[in-house]
């Protein structure tokens, strides 16, 4: 059983610096002064000037008095939507609105996020995250945390949003967020602060409809949106954060008996996923076709750099600003070249285990640029497939002997599907047309 290796996962360490400031002839910790100065009438530069003194304004700051009063409120955690929210319909027959909410703690002390409420333009509540649900939806930008809802001083967290609505629901045109945080005692601010922000418009365009990237039965989508390592795989590249894999799927195949492999599972050829045809999902133009990287050894991969992470791969331009990406193909199997025109269902190569991979599988995604990493991931739905059931979790599958233990498939909800995205753990069958 295989998924992509997070070869580029980076861990960050926050170093806390202390300092001092001068206010009213007394030395104070900068951390306390940042908050208390507003209440005590001090500023970091010295005693506050009275409005009647006519003191010169600070350079770069306007001295004009606002035309109307502005309500000022401490918002310890600043919200920002990292990419415009986009949607798709999943095999659960629900509409999923997916995006990331970035939270930056501007206070010099840790604060705890206790609630995130998403509202539409009319003020109606779309989702309310609290407790364990909130903790499961939050993490650092990279990696995990034992206390995900605690945001240290100057630290950043992400809330990985997946708002579900009944099929046929009217998508909102815009949303905003109400964030509730608790502040440690002893500060001249309320112990609980709620603020509204993170306003953004919704991309209401429908997801791209594609054909299947594979053929045949027994394909497990694991992981898929909206959980697993792809969903949270922000990549810091070229001085920006990218999430090209937001809607990516790793496909692994089982045979008619439910087995993942036959014989020695340390060999790529033993896995039923290996050496399967990979198909064009639409009439398209080939913009990249790379071959020549060797397969990895299952469950014993060697480290690779950014240039080899995709392994042997193909990128198709489906339309302006929409690209399809196929990764980890078998060495010597790529049958197209950059500049070729392909038709829907045409073979492009065969599944393999090259690049940043623990075992043979197909990694597939759509994105807005012809790069597997430096791009924004786009949603898609597959025009027609059969849902045969759901598999156990990845952790449970990893405990099975792939050659002797059949994967138990729960057939609940099985049936023909159109214009839906296979969700994590779905077992699906494709028919080439």
- Pick from 282, 74, 96: nearest CA to 179: 74
Is residue 44 in a domain? no
- Both tokens of 364, joined, read 């597939």
**Contact criterion met (CB below 8 Å) for 85 and 203:** yes
370 and 403 share one domain: yes
- Counting Cα atoms < 13 Å in the Cβ hemisphere of 213 gives 30
Cα 72 to Cα 398: distance, rounded to the nearest angstrom: 53
- Both tokens of 135, joined, read 């903790």
Indicate whether 123 pLDDT > 80. yes
Is residue 41 in a domain? no
Assign residue 230 the CATH number of its domain.
2.70.70.10
Is residue 380 in a domain? yes
- Pick from 323, 331, 263: nearest CA to 296: 331
303 and 337 share one domain: yes
305 and 371 share one domain: yes
Note the pLDDT tens digit of each residue in 49-67.
Answer: 333 333 333 333 444 555 6
311 and 359 share one domain: yes
Count of the separate structural domains present in the chain: 2
Give me the chain's average pLDDT, please: 87
162 and 290 share one domain: no
Residue 362 sits in which domain range? 208-430
Give the range among 2-11, 164-173, 386-395 with minimum mean pLDDT: 2-11
Sign of CA dihedral 162, 416, 166, 391: negative
Average pLDDT of the residues in 244-254 = 97
Q: How confident is the model at residue 314 (pLDDT cuts 50, 70, 90)?
A: very high
254 and 280 share one domain: yes
239 and 324 share one domain: yes
Answer with the one of 139, 169, 201 that is the final residue of a domain: 201
Q: What are the DSSP E strand ranges found in 30-124?
A: 42-43, 46-47, 77-81, 86-89, 94-105, 111-120
Answer with the one of 201, 235, 256 that is the final residue of a domain: 201
Q: State residue 54's pLDDT score.
A: 36
Assign residue 152 the CATH number of its domain.
2.60.40
């Amino acid at each position: 059983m295989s998924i992509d290796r997070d070869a580029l996962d980076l861990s960050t360490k926050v170093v806390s610096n202390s300092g001092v400031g001068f206010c009213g002839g007394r030395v104070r910790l900068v951390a306390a002064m940042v908050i208390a100065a507003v209440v005590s009438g001090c500023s970091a530069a010295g005693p506050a000037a009275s409005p009647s003194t006519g003191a010169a304004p600070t350079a770069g700051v306007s001295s004009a008095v606002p035309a109307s009063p502005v309500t000022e409120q401490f918002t310890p955690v600043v919200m920002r939507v990292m990419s415009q929210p986009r949607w798709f319909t999943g095999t659960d027959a629900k509409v999923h609105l997916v995006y990331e909410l970035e939270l930056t703690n501007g206070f010099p002390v840790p604060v705890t996020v206790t609630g995130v409420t998403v509202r539409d333009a009319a003020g109606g509540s779309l989702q309310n995250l609290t407790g364990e649900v909130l903790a499961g939806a939050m993490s650092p930008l990279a990696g995990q945390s034992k206390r995900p809802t605690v945001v240290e001083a100057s630290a950043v967290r992400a809330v990985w949003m997946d708002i579900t609505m009944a099929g046929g629901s009217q998508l909102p045109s815009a949303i905003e967020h109400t964030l509730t945080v608790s502040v440690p005692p002893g500060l001249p601010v309320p112990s609980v602060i709620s603020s509204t922000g993170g306003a953004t418009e919704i991309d209401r365009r429908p997801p791209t409809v594609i054909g299947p990237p594979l053929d045949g039965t027994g394909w497990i989508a694991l992981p898929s949106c909206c959980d697993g390592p792809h969903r949270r795989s922000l990549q810091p590249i070229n001085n920006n954060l990218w999430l090209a894999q937001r809607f990516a799927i790793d496909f692994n195949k089982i045979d008619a008996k439910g087995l993942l492999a036959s014989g020695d599972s340390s060999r790529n050829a033993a896995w039923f996923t290996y050496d399967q045809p990979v198909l064009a999902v639409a009439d398209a133009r080939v913009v990249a076709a790379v071959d020549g990287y060797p397969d990895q050894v299952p469950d014993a991969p060697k480290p690779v750099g950014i240039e080899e992470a995709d392994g042997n791969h193909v990128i198709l331009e489906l339309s302006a600003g929409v690209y399809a990406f196929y990764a980890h193909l078998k060495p010597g199997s790529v049958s197209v070249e950059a500049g070729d025109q392909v038709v829907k269902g045409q073979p492009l190569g065969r599944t393999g285990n090259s690049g940043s991979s623990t075992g043979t599988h197909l990694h597939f995604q759509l994105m807005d640029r012809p790069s597997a990493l430096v791009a924004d991931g786009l949603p898609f739905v597959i025009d027609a497939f059969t849902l045969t059931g759901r598999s156990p979790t990845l952790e449970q599958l990893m405990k099975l002997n792939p050659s002797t233990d059949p994967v138990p498939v729960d057939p609940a909800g099985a049936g023909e599907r159109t214009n839906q995205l296979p969700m994590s753990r779905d077992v699906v069958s494709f028919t080439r047309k």
